Chain A
Amino acid sequence: MQPDSSISQDQNPIPQKKSGKFNIQIVFLVIFILAAAGLGYWAMQSSNTLKSAQQNLNTLQGEYDALTAEKNSLSGELDQTNKDLASTNEEITTTKDALSTAKSEAAKVNNDLSALKKKMDKANTYIYAIRYIYEDDEATFLGAFLLVALVDDNTLTELFNKWMDSPSYATWTPWAGYAIQTAIDTLTK
């Protein structure tokens, strides 16, 4: 029985030792596989996250580029508008200056015109009595006298009175000549 038991003792330890070693390796193998699977899953997730992040970045970059282009376009338009505005304001200034000059000139011409009209009206009063005498068939001394009096020129009135007192060519010529010469002087001086 002894040899038998020794044989059975020799045979038993071998499978027991083999089974123990195998189990530890399997445990490590399982751990490594699980670790690899976990890390693989994590890496896949990270890869997807990276893809998504890069896609978002690209999208944002596209939006940024579009925004940059839009902003540059607006800036260009703003520059042009500001130039147009400056040019228009300059033109307004020039036009207003021209308007001011035209107004001054118009005021001066109006003054000159007014002065000329006054001179012409005054000159007309000097010759109107003579016109009346020759034009109106029913002209009277009184009518002529009133016209002369309207001139409000003492010399003219005096000369006219002389002619009225003693109507003749000799008394006519001084007052008619005075009236006409004064009218000429009024218009030319």
Chain B
Amino acid sequence: MQTEPVLTETKKSSFGIVTVLMIVALLAAIGLGVWGFMLNNDIKVSQSAYADLKSKHEALTKEKNTVSADLETAKTSLDTAKKDLEKAKKDLADQQAALTKVQDEMTKLKANADKAVKYMEVMIAYWVDDAGPDKVSDLVKAIGDADLTKSYEAYRADDNKFSDWVKYVFVTMSELLATK
């Protein structure tokens, strides 16, 4: 009668510990299973995101390579255009310099021709129009050639100087009209 209760307590105690351990192990297994499942889902999400991003990365790399190639082409075109512009600017500068030179020559020749006409008008007045000495003198002075004036005045003072005056007029006239 005294032995039986002792056996029952031992049996109950062993049952309780094992049961508790069993429950703990079961809960742990369930918990770890749930955690593992959740982690696995996260891995799938992460891998999916990685795959998406990798795809985007590849597309972006392709796009970047295209832009890079376009940039290289544009830079080459710009370099060529800059060289063309430099050449065009140089051509323009050369052309403008040539134009200025021709314009200067034209201006000089026109001035010479106009001056030559003034010398001719003096001789027309003298030989054709029979203008008086004073009129001729005015025309001579109007030209503004000191040597011509001096030569004419010398002729007025001495008729023998006529040839010198006319010679001076025609040589000067002829030199003014010389184009070479």
Does residue A145 face the partner (Cβ distance < 8 Å to B)? no
Task: Give the chain B neighbours of A155 by CB distance below 8 A.
Answer: none
**Chain A interface, number of residues (Cβ within 8 angstroms):** 81
Contact A119 B113 (CB under 8 A): yes
Given contacts A53-B50, A106-B95, whether A70 and B64 have CB atoms under 8 Å apart is: yes
Given contacts A74-B71, A109-B103, A131-B174, whether A92 and B85 have CB atoms under 8 Å apart is: yes
Does residue B142 face the partner (Cβ distance < 8 Å to A)? no
Main secondary structure of the interface of B (DSSP, over half): helix
Give the distance to chain B from A66, nearest Cβ to Cβ, in Å. Answer: 10
Select which of A15, A91, A117 is within 8 A of B85 by beta carbon.
A91
Interface size class for chain B?
35 or more
Contact B99 A21 (CB under 8 A): no
Select which of A39, A46, A172, A177 is within 8 A of B29 by beta carbon.
A39
A183–B120 CA distance with the chains assembled, in angstroms: 8
CB neighbors of A among B65-112 (8 A): 67-68, 70-71, 74-75, 77-78, 81-82, 84-85, 88-89, 91-92, 95-96, 98-99, 102-103, 105-106, 109-110, 112
Contact B116 A50 (CB under 8 A): no
Give the distance to chain B from A183, nearest Cβ to Cβ, in Å. Answer: 6
Given contacts A43-B32, A82-B74, A130-B170, whether A102 and B95 have CB atoms under 8 Å apart is: yes
Most A CB within 10 A of own CB, among B28, B29, B50, B177 = B177
Contact A181 B50 (CB under 8 A): no
Given contacts A85-B77, A127-B177, whether A32 and B18 have CB atoms under 8 Å apart is: no
Task: Give the chain A neighbours of B106 by CB distance below 8 A.
Answer: 109, 112-113, 116
Contact B92 A95 (CB under 8 A): yes
Give the distance to chain A from B174, nearest Cβ to Cβ, in Å. Answer: 5
Contact string against B for A residues 22-48, beta-carbon threshold 8 Å, 1 for contact and 0 otherwise:
100110110011011001101100110
Contact A98 B92 (CB under 8 A): yes
Give the distance to chain A from B112, nearest Cβ to Cβ, in Å. Answer: 8
Given contacts A53-B43, A78-B74, A173-B128, whether A71 and B29 have CB atoms under 8 Å apart is: no
Q: Which of B19-27, B132-140, B146-154 contacts A (4 or more CB under 8 A)?
A: B19-27
What is B's interface to A at a CB cutoff of 8 Å? 3-4, 7, 10-11, 14-15, 18-19, 21-22, 25-26, 28-29, 32-33, 35-36, 39-40, 42-43, 46-47, 49-50, 53-54, 56-57, 60-61, 63-64, 67-68, 70-71, 74-75, 77-78, 81-82, 84-85, 88-89, 91-92, 95-96, 98-99, 102-103, 105-106, 109-110, 112-113, 116-117, 120-121, 123-124, 127-128, 163, 166-167, 170-171, 173-174, 177-179
Of the A-B pairs whose beta carbons lie under 8 Å apart in the complex, a sample of 7, sorted by A's number, is A29-B22, A42-B36, A85-B77, A89-B81, A99-B92, A106-B95, A187-B113
Q: 15 extra interchain contacts, Cβ-Cβ under 8 A, other than A43-B33, A78-B74?
A: A22-B15, A29-B22, A36-B28, A39-B32, A47-B39, A56-B50, A57-B53, A98-B92, A116-B109, A120-B109, A128-B174, A130-B170, A135-B171, A176-B123, A183-B120
